[in-house]
């Protein structure tokens, strides 16, 4: 069996907003997800970053990029084609991943936040 190279890069979970409520779905927008800036800061997600979304209500899984939403609004808005994969009130999980060295990945701890499901506010 070949030894794993220490220079190998692997993709690991970096950030996770666990079980937030979709507040809007805007089909007539060019694409993306708008996220309350407080939530973005809490897990270290930045505008333009690629995120993966899992819809707990219907099982849809998809990816898009982040747009900064109004701070303190609790906004989770799927835009463009992604709006077809959710309905307002659905519960979603939003995750981002990062590439890092194999050794660094062993000790890395992702930022995970469990906001209030009714308000999307950080508890």
What are the residue numbers of the active site? 32, 65
The two structure tokens encoding residue 12:
């690991």
Q: 115: buried, middle or exposed (CB in 10 Å: 19+, 13-18, 0-12)?
A: buried
Phi, psi of 82 (to 5 degrees): -60, -25
Q: How far is CA 50 from the centre of its chain?
A: 8
Helices (H), 32-93: 37-43
86 contact partners, CB below 8 Å, separation of at least 6: 22, 25, 55, 57, 58, 60, 78, 92
């Amino acid at each position: 069996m070949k030894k794993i190279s220490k220079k190998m890069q692997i993709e690991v979970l970096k950030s996770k907003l666990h079980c937030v409520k979709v507040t809007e779905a805007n089909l007539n927008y060019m694409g993306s997800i708008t996220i309350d800036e407080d939530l973005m800061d809490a897990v270290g997600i930045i505008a333009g970053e690629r995120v993966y979304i899992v819809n707990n209500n219907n099982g849809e899984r998809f990816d898009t990029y982040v747009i900064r939403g109004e701070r303190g609004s609790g906004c989770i808005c799927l835009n463009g084609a992604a709006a077809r994969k959710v309905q307002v009130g659905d519960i979603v999980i939003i995750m981002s991943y990062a590439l890092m060295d194999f050794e660094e990945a062993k000790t890395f701890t992702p930022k995970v936040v469990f906001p209030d499901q009714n308000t999307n506010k950080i508890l």
